[in-house]
Amino acid sequence: MSARHGSRTRMFVRMLIRASLVQRGRAASALMAVVVAATVATAMMTLYVDVQAKLRKEFRSYGANIVVVATEGRSLPSDALASVERTLNGRGLAVPFAYAVARTKGGAPIVVAGTDFERAKRLNSWWSISSRQPAAAASQQQALVGTKASKAIGDGPEFALTFDGREHQFSSSGTLRTGASEDSRVYIDLPEFEKWTGVAPSTIEIAASGTPTEIDATLRSLAASLPGAEVRPVRQIVEGEARVLGKTRAALLAAIAIIIFTAILCVLATLTAWVLDRRRDFAIMKALGASETLINSFFAAEAAALGAVGAIAGFALGLGVAAWIGQANFHSAVQPRWSVFPAVLAGSIAVALISAVLPISMLRRVQPATILRGE
Amino acid sequence: MFIRVVYESFRRQRRRKLLAGVAIALGVSVATAMIAVATDIGDKINRELRTYGANLVVTPDADTLDVEIGGVNLKPAGDGAFLREADLPNIKGMFWQHNVVAFAPTLSANTTVEGKPVTVLGTYFDKDLTYGAEHFRTGVPQVYPFWKVSGAWPKDDASEVLLGQKLASEIGKRVGDTIQLAGRDAKIVGVLTSGTAEESQVVAPLAIAQQLLGREGVVKKVFVSALTTPENDFARRDPATMSPEMRDRWYCTPYANSIALQLTEAIPHSHAEQIRQVAQNEGTVLDKIRGLMLLVTFAALLASALAVSAAMATAIFERRREVGLMKALGAGNFSVATFFFTEAALLAIIGGAIGYVAGNLMAQQIGQWVFQSRIAIQPVLFPIVIGLAVFVTFAGSAASIRKAMRFDPVMVLRGDA
C-alpha cells in the first residue's frame, strides 16, 4: 500500500516537472507574466514605503521647521545651543543667530547678525552668495553683506559700523541675496559679534528631520528643556511639506494601485489561456481514470509552483528596479524592504491558483471524449 | 480574399480576439493614465507648493534699508518710499498674468491698542480689482494659505480686523470685541495663527493702515504668489546681456526671474525680487516629484508592454495549426506574416482606442481623488499611445509568427509540433 502510495507521489512529481519541461515555451511565457507582475508590485511597494523618507530629505532644503526665540528683548541662556543639540541628538541642524542694530558711517540704522556661517549656509541652502576675494588685511573682520545693505554701507569692500559708541572695522567677503529681510543685514561670525556688541544669541533656527510625529516630539522636548524661551514650529514649512507630501503620496498610491491591478489581470489572462490550452492533458488524465481531486491538485500544484518561482524572481528584479529609480531620482539607493516579500509571494500564488482553478471548473462538466476529438 | 480571411478570423475566434484585445486595452489604458498624470503632476504640485506663500516680492525702488529683526520692524513706519496702490491692478496686465495665483500688498503702521504699542498690518483680504474689462479677486488668504483664522476674514471695505493670536491673549480680546483704531471702532472678526510676526500684530484692511499712517493710496510691499518654472542656468543669466531672440525666449518662460522683471515693469518705481527660500526650493522639490512620477510611468509602460507582448505571443502560438494549414494550401511566408500583422494592427488600434478612453477616465479619477481638479490631457497623446500599442503588439507577435512559420506544416497539422 505504501509502495503504491510512493509511486503515485513520484508520478505526480514527474508529471509536474515534465509538464513544464516539455512545453518549455508556453511555461516560460506564463512564468514571465508572473515575474513581470511580481517585479512591478515589488518595485512599486518598496518605492512607496521609501519615497516618503526620501522626499522629506528634499523638503529639508526649505530650512528651519522649528524656531527657538528668547522672550522679548532678552537673550537665550548661554547653554541653550548645547541643550538644543542634546535634544536633537544628531537628527537635525541647529543654527544660532544674534541680532543688534548698529549704525553706518552716515548714521543710518542697520541690522547686524552674528551666526555660525558654516551651519547657516547648510541650513539655508537658498542663500545666494557672490563671494569676492578677501581683502588684504586678515586682521579685519570678514562680513557677509546683504544686497540692500551693501548699498547703504558705501562702495569699498571695507566699512565701519558703530554699536553703542564702539566702532568696528569690517571687510566684505561677499554679497548675500535672498529676497527677504536678510538682504538688509550684515552677517558676521558669532564670537566676533559677541565680543563687539556683548549681545548673545536670541534665536536658534532648527531643521529637525523625521516624520511629523517625531518633529512634534522634538518640539515638545525642546520646549521642556528651554523653559525661558518660546519654541514654535514654522507653520509655513510644516504645512507646505505635509500638503505636498500628502498629494504626492496619494498620486503615487493611485498609480501603484492601477499598475498592480493591471499586472494581476494580465497574469490571470495569460495563465487562464495556458491552462485552457492544455485541456487535452486534462482530458487524457480524466480518460485514464484520474480522480477529480488528483487533477485539481495537479493543476493547483503547478500554478502554486509557478506563482512561487515567479514571485522570487520578480522580488529580486523589483528590488533592482526600485534601487535604480532611487538612484536616478534621489541619488541614494532605496532600501530593500523584506516585509514586502510575503505580500508579493502570497499575492502571486493566489493569483496563479485562481487562474488555474477557474478554467478547470469550467472544463469539469465537459466529457473527455469531446475534448480529445478536438471539438 | 485577404480581407475575408481577416474578417472571418475576427468573427469566428471571438473569445481569443477578445482576450488579446482586452490585454492591449488594459496596457494602453494604464499607459495613457500614467502618462497623463505624469505630464500634469508638475502643474498640480506647483499649485500645492503655493502653500509656502509668496515667491516674489515687490518693493519701492528707492527704499531705505529695512531694520527688522524676527519680523518686527524697528524703523519709523512712515519712513522711506512707497508704491502706489492704483498701480497694483497692472500685475494682471503682465505677459504672465495667468501664472500669478494671487498677490497682496502690505503697509505697516504703528499705533497703540489698549495702551500697548502695536503694529497694524494693512492688506487685501478678498479685494475686487479691475484691469481693463477684467475683474479679479485677490488677497492675503490666497497668498498665505498657511494662515489660519478662527472666526472670519475681515471685509476689505468694512471696519473689521484680525487680531494676532499672541496679541489677542496679551490684551485679552476675543472675536466679537471691538478695539479703537484711527479714532473709530474696529470689530475683531477673527484671530490669526500664522507662526510668524503677524501673530503679535493687528491685520486690517489696507485703508485703515493708510489712515493711521496719514498717507492715502500707498502700499509698502506687494507679495506675489506665482507659478514658476524651475530655474536652470539659462534662467540665471542677465537678460541685459542676451541677444534679442534669447531675451524673448527668456522673457516668455515663466522663470521667477523673468516674472520679477515683468513685475518691475508693471509697477512704476519698483523693484521685484524672488524670495529665494520659496522660489529656489520649489524647483528642487518639483523636479524630484516629477522625476519620480516619470520613472514610475516608465516602469509601468515597460510592464504593460511586456504583458501585451506576452499575451500576443501566447495568442499566436496557439494558432500554429492555422499557419500550418495556410502553408499547406500554398501560402508563402510573406502572406502569412501579412495576415497576422494585419490582425495584430487591427487589434492594437481597436484595443488602443478603447484603452485610451478608459485611461482618460482613470486619469480623471486620479485627478479628482488626489488634487480635486481635472487632469489636462494632451490630444497628441492619442496617436502616441496607438503607435506604442501597434509597436508593442508587433514586437510581441513577431517572434511567435517566425517560430510558427518554421514548423513543417505536416507536423503541425498532425499535432506533433
Q: What is the overall mean pLDDT for chain B? A: 86
> Who among A47, A243, A273 is closest to B314 (CB)?
A273
| Axis-axis angle for helices B381-406, B14-49 (nearest 10) | 140
Contact B273, B10 (CB under 8 A): no
Hey, are the CB atoms on B288 and A55 less than 8 Å from each other? yes
Task: Give the tens place of pLDDT for each residue, B100-128.
Answer: 999 999 998 888 888 888 899 999 999 99
> Who among B33, B52, B317 is closest to A25 (CB)?
B317
How buried is residue B275: exposed, middle or buried, by Cβ count under 10 Å (0-12/13-18/19+)? buried
Q: How does DSSP assign A240-296, residue by residue?
A: HHHHHHHHHHHHHHHHHHHHHHHHHHHHHHHHHHHHHHTHHHHHHHHHTT--HHHHH
* pLDDT of B311: 74
Kindly report whether the global pTM for this prediction surpasses the value 0.90.
Answer: no
Q: Does pLDDT of B416 surpass 70?
A: no
Question: Cell 524676527 sits at which residue?
Answer: B70
Hey, are the CB atoms on A32 and B34 less than 8 Å from each other? no
Mutate: best of B236, B285, B290, B360, partner A, most A CBs <10 A:
B285
Contact B28, B356 (CB under 8 A): yes
Chain B CA closest to residue A26: B314
CA atoms within 13 A on the CB side of B371: 23
Q: Does pLDDT of B320 surpass 80?
A: no
> Who among B22, B273, B295 is closest to A325 (CB)?
B295
* pLDDT of B77: 64
Mutate: best of A26, A54, A235, A334, partner B, most B CBs <10 A:
A235
Q: Pick from A357, A81, A340: which is nearest to A229 by CA?
A: A81
* pLDDT of A1: 46
The distance from CA A127 to its chain's CA centroid, rounded to whole angstroms, is: 25
Distance CA(B352)–CA(A176), nearest Å, equals 55
Going by DSSP bridges, is the β-strand pair B178-181/B56-60 parallel, antiparallel, or unpaired? unpaired
> Who among B53, B66, B284 is closest to A61 (CB)?
B284
* pLDDT of A309: 93
Q: Does pLDDT of B329 surpass 70?
A: yes
DSSP 8-state assignment for residue B229: P
Going by DSSP bridges, is the β-strand pair B56-60/A92-103 parallel, antiparallel, or unpaired? unpaired
Chain A CA closest to residue B25: A262
* pLDDT of A266: 78
> Who among A203, A237, A329 is closest to B292 (CB)?
A329
Instruction: Report chain A residues whose CB lies below 8 A from the CB of B362.
Output: 258
* Backbone CA torsion sign across A245, A250, A255, A259: positive
Hey, are the CB atoms on A101 and B74 less than 8 Å from each other? yes
Distance CA(A99)–CA(A193), nearest Å, equals 9
Distance CA(A76)–CA(B271), nearest Å, equals 36
Hey, are the CB atoms on B30 and A259 less than 8 Å from each other? yes
Task: Give the tens place of pLDDT for each residue, B152-196.
Answer: 999 999 899 999 998 999 898 889 999 988 778 899 999 999 888
Per-residue cell: B56: 516674489
Mean pLDDT of B92-99: 88
B262 or B307, greater pLDDT: B262
B320 SS3 class: helix
Host H or E run for residue A36: helix A24-59
Which range is least confidently modeled, B149-153, B239-243, B397-401? Answer: B397-401
Hey, are the CB atoms on A321 and B299 less than 8 Å from each other? yes
Instruction: Report chain B residues whose CB lies below 8 A from the CB of A255.
Output: 33-34, 37, 293, 296-297, 300, 366
DSSP 8-state assignment for residue B130: E
pLDDT along chain A (375 residues), means of 10: 66 77 74 87 88 85 89 82 88 91 86 91 89 59 87 79 87 87 90 90 90 89 88 86 88 86 81 77 82 83 90 93 88 84 92 84 76 67
* pLDDT of B148: 92
A112 or B299, greater pLDDT: A112
Structure confidence at residue B206 as a pLDDT band (50, 70, 90): very high
Most confident among A263-267, B65-69, B226-230 (mean pLDDT): B226-230
* pLDDT of A341: 92
Which range is least confidently modeled, A241-245, B69-73, B239-243? Answer: B69-73
Phi, psi of B87 (to 5 degrees): -85, -15
Instruction: Report chain A residues whose CB lies below 8 A from the CB of B365.
Output: 254
Mean pLDDT of B282-301: 86
* pLDDT of B409: 78
Q: How far is A113 from chain B (nearest CA, A)?
A: 9
Q: What is the ipTM of this complex?
A: 0.80
Mean pLDDT of B388-397: 86
Mutate: best of A56, A329, A334, A371, partner B, most B CBs <10 A:
A329
DSSP 8-state assignment for residue B176: T
Most confident among A36-40, B228-232, B233-237 (mean pLDDT): A36-40
Distance CA(B146)–CA(B199), nearest Å, equals 13
* pLDDT of B264: 92
Which range is least confidently modeled, B1-10, B89-98, B121-130? Answer: B1-10
* pLDDT of B17: 79
* pLDDT of B3: 81
* pLDDT of A5: 66
* pLDDT of A359: 80
Contact B255, B262 (CB under 8 A): no
* pLDDT of A2: 53
B218 or A29, greater pLDDT: B218
* pLDDT of A139: 58
Hey, are the CB atoms on B300 and A109 less than 8 Å from each other? no
> Who among A179, A251, A265 is closest to B293 (CB)?
A251
Distance CA(A115)–CA(A205), nearest Å, equals 11
* pLDDT of A292: 80
> Could you tell me how many CB contacts below 8 A there are between chain A and chain B?
228
Q: How does DSSP assign A150-207, residue by residue?
A: HHHH-SSSEEEEEETTEEEEEEEEEEEE-SSGGGGEEEEEHHHHHHHH-PPP-EEEEE
Q: Does pLDDT of B355 surpass 80?
A: yes
Chain A CA closest to residue B44: A247
> Who among A183, A258, A328 is closest to B30 (CB)?
A258
